[in-house]
Amino acid sequence: NAGVTQTPKFQVLKTGQSMTLQCAQDMNHEYMSWYRQDPGMGLRLIHYSVGAGITDQGEVPNGYNVSRSTTEDFPLRLLSAAPSQTSVYFCASSFWTSGRRGGTQYFGPGTRLTVL
Amino acid sequence: GENVEQHPSTLSVQEGDSAVIKCTYSDSASNYFPWYKQELGKRPQLIIDIRSNVGEKKDQRIAVTLNKTAKHFSLHITETQPEDSAVYFCAASSGSSNTGKLIFGQGTTLQVKP
């Protein structure tokens, strides 16, 4: 298994540009999420999904969109990039089934995004 | 919503000493509390977790304690080694107990000096 994969590893954007960060997992996990990591701020939840067709907002959703058309993929879209979105982005996934109280989250390798 | 506070933000210990990192959470419905270790330039990886029906869990040199009444949990690392140097994050489950949603603390940078 490849686990959780993310592309690209690095990206530089200009203010106002849009782009999509890709995330895929091959572990048949129901739960997938996106975090951003900034110095001193920890990992902040952007959006998450508990299954195909179901998404919800996390702590810092503004400026980002997500969709979940398949169990495997959970892309994150930046609509109009701003310098404040310069960060490292991590995708994570875990098992979730009714009655199970949380499971190990597996993280992807991250995408380092710089917005000029 | 859930809020997780983590202290200290930095911790420096001598090799062989113990290290303790503490977290508090706000949502009394939280029932899953994992700890992640992140080495420089790498992804976070789970090192230990605890559920609300357990007060303490140990795995070799690492232990986690949970006090649900006070809404705080702690990571204990004994006999620290230089390879324990990393950033450590605590997290707590949030919202419905079955969604898998986690809220993370701000992180603790642990330095173990040889």
Using DSSP bridges, classify how beta strands A19-25 and A31-38 pair: parallel, antiparallel or unpaired.
unpaired
Helix, strand, coil percent content, chain A, rounded in steps of 5 = 5, 50, 45
**DSSP character string of A72-114:** SB--EEESS--GGG-EEEEEEEE---TT------EE---EEEE
pLDDT of residue B94: 77
Per-residue pLDDT of chain B (114 residues; tens, 9 = 90+): 789 999 999 999 999 999 999 999 998 888 889 999 999 999 999 999 998 777 899 999 999 999 999 999 999 999 999 999 999 999 998 765 556 788 999 999 999 999
Binding-site residues on chain A for chain B (CB distance < 8 A) = 30-31, 33, 35, 40-45, 48, 50, 58-59, 90, 94-105, 107-110
Using DSSP bridges, classify how beta strands B10-14 and B108-113 pair: parallel, antiparallel or unpaired.
parallel
Taking an 8 Å cut-off on Cβ atoms, the answer to whether B106 and A42 are in contact is yes
Considering only CB atoms, A42 lies closest to which of B34, B89, B98, namely: B89
Q: Tell me, what DSSP letter sits at residue B43?
A: -
Per-residue pLDDT of chain A (116 residues; tens, 9 = 90+): 789 999 999 999 999 999 999 999 999 888 999 999 998 888 999 999 988 999 999 999 999 999 999 999 999 999 999 999 999 999 999 886 544 555 788 999 999 999 99
User: Measured over all CA atoms, what is the biggest interatomic distance in chain A, rounded to whole angstroms?
Assistant: 45
Taking an 8 Å cut-off on Cβ atoms, the answer to whether B102 and A30 are in contact is no
Considering only CB atoms, B98 lies closest to which of A101, A107, A110, namely: A101
Phi-psi domain of B9 (left: phi exceeds 0; alpha: psi -120 through 50; beta: other): alpha
pLDDT of residue A80: 96
